[in-house]
Chains A and B, each alone.
Chain A
Amino acid sequence: MERLVQLGADMAKLWERCGGDYLNGMKNTLILALVATAIGCLIGLICGILQTIPHSKNDPPVKRFFLALIRAVVRVYVEVFRGTPMVLQAVFLYYGLPYFTNNSVKFDNIWLAAILVVSINTGAYMAESVRGGIISIDPGQTEGAKAIGMTHVQTMLNVILPQAIRNIMPQIGNNFIINVKDSSVMFIISFTEFFAVHRAAVGQTYLYFPSATIEMIGYLTMTLIASLILRWMEKRMDGDSSYDLVQVDPLTMTAGTYSHPDRGTPFDERSKENREKVRQELKFGRNRGDR
C-alpha cells in the first residue's frame, strides 16, 4: 500500500514536470500509427488486388508474363518486410541509404522516414490479409457479377472489395494497434514518439518505474479507445439488422404498372388480362400453347 502511494506521488511529480512531453509523445505516436496504417492498408490493398488478378493458360504470353512478374515482386516484398524486424528496416532506410549513396540520398525529415518504414511494414502484413479477404469471398459472387456482364475490375470494385474490406476490418484494427505499440522502435532513428519520451524523462528524473507505469496506462488508453472505435465502425459497416417494407412505392405508381388496368403484368391479379385468363382457364382448362 505504501509502495502504491509512493508510486502515485512519483507519477504525479513526473507528470508535473514532463506531462506535456508525454502528451506530445502520445500525439506523435497516434499520428504515426494512423497515417502509417492508412498508407499500409493502401499498399496492402494494391498488392492483394494485384495478386488475385485471374490468370489462365489461355491468356496471351505477354499478359501471363506480366502477371507472373507482378506476383513474384509482391511475393518478395511481402517475405522480405514481413520477415525482418522493423528496427533493422528503419536502420537500413535511415542510416543505410546515406551510407551507400555517399550522403546524396538521405532523409531530412524524420517523420517521412518513420512513416515510410511503418507503412511499408504494415503493407507487407496487409497484402496477405487482403489476399485472404478476397479469396474468402464466395466464388458465386464473382460468377453472379460475371453473369450480368461485369468485367473483372467492375466485379472487384462493386462486389468483391466491399465485402472483402468488411471481412479484413479486424485485421486493419490489429495492425493499427500493433503500430501504436511497435512504432516505439522508431526511437532508433530518434523519432520522438511516446516511448522516446519515457527514455528522456527517465534520463532527467531517474524515476524509471513510475514513468513506465505512465507509459503502460498511456498505451492501454490509446489501444482501448482504438478498439472501441473499430468495433463501432464494424457495426456501422454491417448496417441495420432490420429493414422497412415498402408497401407503396411511389416510383412504380408513376411508372404506371398498376395505374392502367390494361397494362398490368400477368402477375398482377388486378389486371384485366389476367382475370380474363383465369376465367378462361377455369372454363376450358389451361392452354399450354399460348405464348
Chain B
Amino acid sequence: MGEKILEIRHLSKNFGTNHVLRDIDFTVDKGDVISIIGASGSGKSTLLRCINLLETPTSGEILYHGQNVVGRSVNAAAYRSHVGMVFQSFNLFNNMTVLENCMVGQIKVLKKHKEEARAHAMEYLEKVGMAPYINAKPRQISGGQKQRVAIARALAMDPEVLLFDEPTSALDPEMVGEVLSVMQTLANEGMTMLVVTHEMAFARDVSTRVVYMNQGVICEEGPPSEVFGNPRRQETRDFLARFRKN
C-alpha cells in the first residue's frame, strides 16, 4: 500500500432530481491504476469530473493528501494542476500547435521558463511518439494522435494523478491500440491513474484495481482477477456477460 493521494468520502452528485452519484467512497493510493467500468449513465464520467472539480459535488468530501478540496475556500486551479485529466474529446487547444499545447500550462500555471517548458514537453511528446508532429495544429492530426498529445499535455504538468475519461471511446478502432499502449507504458512506470473505460482487456490486464459502478453507486471493487474472474455481485456478472458475448 502506497501513500494515500485521494480519498473520496460520501460523495454525491445530483443534477436536479437525478441522483447521478450516491454516497461514493473510495481511495486512490500512489501507484494505483484503477479502472472504472460500468454501463453508460452509471455515473463513471461524473465521478471523474467531480474528482477534478469540473462538476461541483452536491455533498461529500474529496481529500487530497488529507485536505478537503470541495468548497469555496479552495483554489480549484491549483488543485487541478496536480490532478491531470484526459478527455474523451481530447480538448486540445485549437489555436496552438502540438508543442504549444504541451507548453502553455507549464508556462502560465507552473511559471516555468520557455526553454525549460519546451524541453519538458518534448520529453513527453517523445514518449507518446508525437515528437515529429510538434508543429502541427490539432486539426491536422488524427484522433489517436490528438489523444496522445492530450496525454503528453497532461503529463507535462507532472501531475500526481492522471484521470482518463473514456480516452479511447471517440477513436476509430485502429487508433485505440496506440493510445492504450501509451497508457500501459505509463501504468508500468508507476503513474497513478484513474481510468474510466469500456476497454475490458485494458481493465483486466493493466489495472491494479477495478471499480464496477452501477446506477450511481460502487457496486463492486477489487483486484481485476477477482472482479473479472469471480464477481461477487449478480449485477457485475450480468454486465460482464454482455462483454463476453461480443
Instruction: Output the least CB separation between A243 and chain B (Å).
Output: 4
Chain A residues near B205: list those with CB within 8 A.
Answer: 288
Chain B residues near A244: list those with CB within 8 A.
Answer: 135
Those of B140-170 within 8 Å (CB) of chain A: 140, 150, 153-154, 157
Instruction: Output the least CB separation between B142 and chain A (Å).
Output: 14
A143, B93: Cβ atoms closer than 8 Å: no
A291 CA / B187 CA spacing, docked (Å)? 7
Chain A residues near B154: list those with CB within 8 A.
Answer: 147-148
Per a CB cutoff under 8 Å, which of A149, A245, A265 touches B78? A149
Chain A residues near B17: list those with CB within 8 A.
Answer: none
A141 within 8 A of B: yes
Chain B residues near A151: list those with CB within 8 A.
Answer: 77
B92, A158: Cβ atoms closer than 8 Å: no
Per a CB cutoff under 8 Å, which of B54, B119, B136, B189 touches A143? B54
Chain A residues near B95: list those with CB within 8 A.
Answer: 159, 162-163, 166
How many residues in B have their beta carbons less than 8 Å from beta carbons of A? 56
A255, B105: Cβ atoms closer than 8 Å: no
Chain B residues near A149: list those with CB within 8 A.
Answer: 77-82, 105, 109, 157
A265 CA / B122 CA spacing, docked (Å)? 13
A163 CA / B93 CA spacing, docked (Å)? 9
A27 within 8 A of B: no
B-contact bits for A149-173, CB 8 A (1 contact / 0 none): 1110010001100110010000000
- A147-B84, A148-B84 known; A154 vs B108 contact (CB < 8 Å): yes
B94 within 8 A of A: yes
A146, B54: Cβ atoms closer than 8 Å: yes
A291, B188: Cβ atoms closer than 8 Å: yes
- A158-B104, A257-B126, A291-B31 known; A144 vs B109 contact (CB < 8 Å): no
- A141-B94, A163-B95 known; A266 vs B153 contact (CB < 8 Å): no
Q: Is the interface of A mostly helix, strand, loop or mixed?
A: loop
Q: Tally the A-B contacts, defined by beta carbons under 8 Å.
A: 126
Those of B68-120 within 8 Å (CB) of chain A: 72, 76-82, 84-85, 87, 89-95, 97, 104-105, 108-109, 118-119
B91, A60: Cβ atoms closer than 8 Å: no
A140 within 8 A of B: yes
A58, B87: Cβ atoms closer than 8 Å: no
B56 within 8 A of A: yes
- A149-B157, A290-B188 known; A246 vs B54 contact (CB < 8 Å): no
B133, A245: Cβ atoms closer than 8 Å: yes
A246, B119: Cβ atoms closer than 8 Å: no
- Closest B residue to A140 by beta carbon equals B91
- 16 contacting pairs across A/B (C-beta < 8 A): A140-B87, A144-B92, A144-B150, A148-B80, A148-B105, A148-B157, A149-B80, A150-B109, A154-B109, A241-B140, A244-B135, A246-B135, A255-B123, A266-B185, A268-B126, A291-B33
Binding site for A on B (CB under 8 A): 31, 33, 52, 54, 56, 72, 76-82, 84-85, 87, 89-95, 97, 104-105, 108-109, 118-119, 122-123, 126-129, 131-137, 140, 150, 153-154, 157, 182, 185, 187-190, 205, 208
- Nearest 6 pairs of A and B residues by beta carbon: A149-B81, A144-B91, A148-B105, A147-B85, A140-B91, A149-B109
